[in-house]
Amino acid sequence: MYKLLMKLFLPTAALILGGIYLCDVLNKSVDAAALIKPVYVLLCIVYIFVCISDIRVWNKEKADTEHEETVLTDALSSNREFRKILVCIGGTAAYILALKYIGFTLSTAIFLFSGFMFTQSKNKLVSALIAVLVTGAILVIFKIVLLVPLPRGFIGI
């Protein structure tokens, strides 16, 4: 179950953030909403297909390994997995709240770096570099190419 939830974590976060952005755009401009709605509908369709595909793979893996696991190891691993899931959900909630206060750039870089560390990345320097590069790429795409304003927060970054 943990593997399935981890596979669906990023698509779910993207869907939620897209929904938040759609609601924000709907309140501001009808013209912008006309452009965003089809993209969000497409995102929802892709999300449904990803969920169906991942659930099928998970069911197949579960059926293959079900006879090999004991009840005790299942109980222990599911408890650990549940804690990891709660940490991921809490981290995403903290990220969404931090966007408002410290802005997109800093909160995204921190969120990505902590996500890499949580998934037990070996090299902290590489994780930090990837987090900064991904944040920069997203910033360039949305702010410069698409001219979409991103949250700046109180710091103004």
Which amino acid appears at position 24 of this protein?
D
124 has pLDDT over 90: no
Look up the pTM and report it. Answer: 0.53
Mean pLDDT, residues 75-79 taken together: 59
Residues in contact with 156: Cβ distance below 8 Å, sequence separation at least 6, in sequence order: 103
pLDDT (tens digit per residue) in 85-121: 788 888 888 888 888 888 888 888 998 898 888 877 7
pLDDT (tens digit per residue) in 4-27: 677 777 777 877 887 777 777 777
Of residues 120, 136, 97, 125, the one with CA closest to residue 6: 120
Q: What is the pLDDT of residue 132?
A: 92
Tokens of 50: 């990803």
pLDDT (tens digit per residue) in 59-74: 777 777 665 555 445 5
Q: What is the pLDDT of residue 45?
A: 80
